[in-house]
Amino acid sequence: MIKRLTQWIDDRLGASSFAKQALNKVFPDHWSFLLGELALYCFLILVLTGVFLSFFFDPSVSESVYRGEYEPLNGVHVSNAYKSVLDLSFEVRAGLVMRQMHHWAALIFIAAMFVHMLRIFFTGAFRRPREINWLIGLTLLILGLLNGFSGYSLPDDLLSGTGLRIAYSVVLSIPVIGTWMAFLVFGGEFPAEQIIERLFVVHIFIVPVAIAGLMTAHLAIVWRQKHTQFPGPGRTEGNVVGEKLWPTYMTKSMALFFGVSAVVAILGGLVQINPVWLYGPFRAEQIPSPAQPDWYLGWLEGALRLFPPWEIRAFGFELPNPFYPAILLPGITFNLLYLWPFLEAKLTGDREPHHLLERARDHPVRTALGIAGLAFYLVLFAAASNDLLSKWLKIPVESITNAYRVLLLVFPPVAGLITYRLMDALRRTGAEGLMHLPLSALTRRTQE
Amino acid sequence: MENQGERSIRWIATAFGVSIVASLGLAVVYLLGGQPQAEGALLGAALGGISVGLVLWAKHLMPGGPEVQEREIRPEVAEAQAEVEETLQAGAEPIERRTFLAKMLGAAFAAFGIALLFPIRSLGGAPGRALFRTAWRPGSRVVRADGSPVRPEELAVDGILTVFPETHTEAADSQTLLIHLPEDVQPPGPPGWVPEGFVAFSKICTHAGCPVGLYEAESKKLFCPCHQSVFDVVDGAKPTEGPATRPLPQLPLSIDDSGFLVAQGDFEEPVGPGFWNRGRDD
């Protein structure tokens, strides 16, 4: 059977030499190398569950009176988009599980991409010759954020409608072209009727196609360049040590797909997510409180909350307040990330090709900067729930906001400095890990 | 060794068996009308069984490695690159020789690119004055979201109501907060705007446009739940905390001959979040 199939294909495509090479291809084995695969498989789950959802979702915002399974909203005016999500959740068999799986998979998808990026960063895997894949990967992360937000906004519920309203105000804040952009993107002054239908096209067609295309390129480049590996006995810049694609690596990879699918299925069935029927349909004059976005936009939400009441006005023109935290900050963030491989090469003068990874300690400055950056975004992320913290601790929200503002300025440099000292000590002593580090290594200054 | 292999086989078979049973269970649950928690758990078991089986199989019964493969260090690189360069240059030569044509082609592309921008214009109307105006007009009756007009006696002292201009309850930019201040409070704004202690402010936050939904009658302050801006009603709804930089615009009110609350006109400045030319209403 295998023989006949191989012959049939090779007769027509002449693919045997490639297939032989492919099946024997060696992949290095380390748990952290699976993070990218994890993202890939989440995307696959998103496509599968998303296709199912798209058969039932109606992106129109024309209103009708809800008459359905969910009693508390009976007789309420709702948009068709909202109604179709309710019907999908309560009346379509397996619909709720599919919807919740889709949402959970989206959260894990972005988390996997993010942690994957951290792994690449802290091990120096972005260095020559892998700069192109760093750029593609970062673009994938941004597209993931975009598709997360566009999908989150589709049900036309009160919570996501509030998110859209903030997004509109943020677009509006862009200098010179902001008003035009907001009107073109949203179809008019908020809440224009076209936005849900547009987001639907963006969410199920434009961005997913872009993601699929870039992921293919991402993988093709990994294939072409061969995976990096950690240094170790027998591992050099000139070889790859690991398992062959066929059968071991492929089997493990399939196991990962089924494993993450199982986790997503269990979450989708047992852990409620985005219960839009509790938020109610979108009404322009209503607002949920408290209101938090999905986790991956927490840093932007936190930045909007922490940025002081400042803005620049002159000659009747202005740069409104949301511009700084929600346009300027992400603009700087992503540009810095895009440029990082080139900046680092310039600063260190290291332009050699690398296939062996670095450990965090091998490059204390990079590790320290990375940790300081992470600390910065972590504070922003935490600040997105300053109202909840205020409620739990019974401290005025203003005090908490001020505390976060101080923390935002203090925590990153402190975290960075501590990291630098630790990494430097690890490098000097050669200790296996932080737990094995002798105390004396921390007190002595570097002598180089 | 034999024993170890057999034990692995038993575990792997069990995992696949669990998956089979879970899949059958899933079909049954579905046929019986479906139940989200059972569906999730069984689907998880079906997928998880396969996953566990595959992992054990790969770990215990497949070649493990380590395998070593050479990474090709490509010596022919420089030569190949030179060839590509040459080919590119050879092909570019006849194009470069016709500088005029090349320039015309460039201009054609540029013109076409500009022409391509125009369909984007169809995506939305021109902003025009839309952001500077709301639906409030002189004499607009103040109505609730259900369209019913408001008489002063219908709103208790310290009460608050979300109101719209009559026949425009769908106008999101016109949403307004009507507040009945007690007599002992000096109401904000020009004296002619606040009949019988009734004040009205735009409900749209001047920071990021959320409805300023919470009112604390005791402190006479409005809170925006989105980013925690606080507005002091008595002080003309000026922001006292949070990221907002401007007060909520005030709506001039009066009471008409039939005893209903009406607006004397539109807000005097744009409502809602800031934008580039907000200060230039001309």
Successive 10-residue mean pLDDT values, chain A, 448 residues: 92 92 93 97 98 97 93 95 97 96 98 98 96 98 98 96 96 96 94 93 98 98 95 93 93 97 98 96 92 96 97 94 98 98 96 94 96 98 95 94 97 97 92 83 60
CB B144 within 8 A of CB B162: yes
Q: Are residues B94 and B149 in the same domain?
A: no
Choose from B43, B168, B229, B281 for mutation: most chain A CBs within 10 A: B43
Tell me which chain B residues have a C-beta less than 8 angstroms from the C-beta of A49: none
By percentage, how much of chain B surpasses pLDDT 90? 85
State the nearest Cα–Cα gap between A311 and chain B, in angstroms.
7
The whole-number average pLDDT for the span B104-120 is: 95
Structure tokens at A419: 């990291």
Domain that holds residue B26: 4-63+77-121
Is any Cβ of chain B less than 8 angstroms from the Cβ of A169? yes
Is any Cβ of chain B less than 8 angstroms from the Cβ of A190? yes
CB A107 within 8 A of CB A41: no
Of B58, B120, B272, the CB nearest to A248: B58
Q: Are residues B183 and B268 in the same domain?
A: yes
User: What would the pLDDT profile of B77-110 be if each residue is shown by its tens digit?
Assistant: 778 889 999 999 999 998 888 999 999 999 999 9
Is any Cβ of chain B less than 8 angstroms from the Cβ of A318? yes
**Residue A75, pLDDT score:** 94
Q: Are residues B42 and B82 in the same domain?
A: yes
Taking each helix axis as running N to C, give the angle between helix A131-153 and helix A95-122, from 0 to 180 degrees, rounded to the nearest 10: 150
Q: Are residues B139 and B245 in the same domain?
A: yes
**Residue A442, pLDDT score:** 75
DSSP designation for B221: E
B26 part of a folded domain? yes
Handedness of CA A90, A93, A94, A95 (dihedral sign): negative
B182 part of a folded domain? yes
Nearest chain A residue to B52 by CA distance is A255
Q: Are residues B169 and B117 in the same domain?
A: no
Q: Which residue has the higher pLDDT, B92 or B72?
A: B92
Query: Hey, what domains does chain A have and what are their CATH numbers?
Result: 27-288+315-351 (1.20.810.10), 359-448 (no CATH)
Of B53, B242, B275, the CB nearest to A173: B275
Q: Are residues B41 and B153 in the same domain?
A: no
Q: Are residues B152 and B103 in the same domain?
A: no
**Dist. CA A329–CA A340, nearest whole Å:** 16
User: What would the pLDDT profile of A167-203 be if each residue is shown by its tens digit?
Assistant: 999 999 999 999 999 999 999 999 988 999 999 999 9
- Domain total in chain B: 2
Of A173, A254, A401, the CB nearest to B274: A173
Please state the ipTM of this predicted complex. 0.94
B68 part of a folded domain? no
Q: What is the mean pLDDT of chain B?
A: 93
The radius of gyration of chain A from alpha carbons, rounded to an integer in Å, stands at: 25
Q: Are residues B141 and B261 in the same domain?
A: yes
The region of weakest confidence among A438-447, B172-181, B219-228 is A438-447
B281 part of a folded domain? no
Helix/strand/coil (H/E/C) assignment for every residue in B44-57: HHHHHHHHHHHHHH
Q: Are residues B161 and B268 in the same domain?
A: yes
Neighbour-count burial of A19, counting CB atoms closer than 10 A to its CB (0-12 exposed, 13-18 middle, 19+ buried): middle
**Residue B79, pLDDT score:** 84
For residue A178, which of B208, B276, B269 has the smallest C-alpha distance?
Answer: B276
Has residue B120 got a pLDDT over 60?
A: yes
Has residue B223 got a pLDDT over 60?
A: yes
Q: Are residues B139 and B247 in the same domain?
A: yes
Q: Indicate the pTM of the whole model.
A: 0.96
For residue B167, the domain's CATH number is: 2.102.10.10
Is any Cβ of chain B less than 8 angstroms from the Cβ of A378? no
B129 part of a folded domain? no
